[in-house]
Amino acid sequence: QVQLAESGGGLVQTGGSLRLSCAASGSISVIDVMGWYRQAPGKKREFVAAMTSGGSTVYAESMKGRFTISRDNAKNQMYLQMNSLKPEDTAVYYCAALKNIGVGSSWNAVIHDLSDAGSWGQGTQVTVSS
């Protein structure tokens, strides 16, 4: 199982930006899908964004236009560029990876499987002050 480590979190003001990184222990070229989730105190874990090895992406509605997911296979890293941050974005952000997904899987199924069966990092704290 791939080992993941998030970094890049911190404290920013409303409207600011952060770039989160997720380093994998091995080649991410063999991982079908990687993504980001977040969890705020007292709330359930929330899907943020995901990306397949083929470059397809999906974002949660509240993140569209503000967050961008990307990956660098040469560095075995995945990124989440977060712009126009809001206090509501305050949470611990986690990266996840799933090596294999079924042929013809919908995004809903992929997101569910990634959350349920994927590998996880320890998370990085993002705090947005008002």
Query: What's the full length of the chain, in residues?
Result: 130
| Residue 130 pLDDT | 92
| Residue 100 pLDDT | 86
Q: Which helix (H) or strand (E) holds 49?
A: strand 46-52
* HEC per residue, the chain: CCCEEEECCEEEECCCCEEEEEEECCCHHHCCEEEEEEECCCCCCEEEEEEECCCCEEECHHHCCCEEEEEECCCCEEEEEECCCCHHHCEEEEEEEECCCCCCCCHHHHHHHHHHHCEECCCEEEEEEC
| pLDDT string in tens for the chain (130-residue length) | 789 999 999 999 999 999 999 999 989 988 999 999 999 999 999 999 999 999 999 999 999 999 999 999 999 999 999 999 999 999 999 999 998 887 778 999 999 999 988 899 999 999 999 9
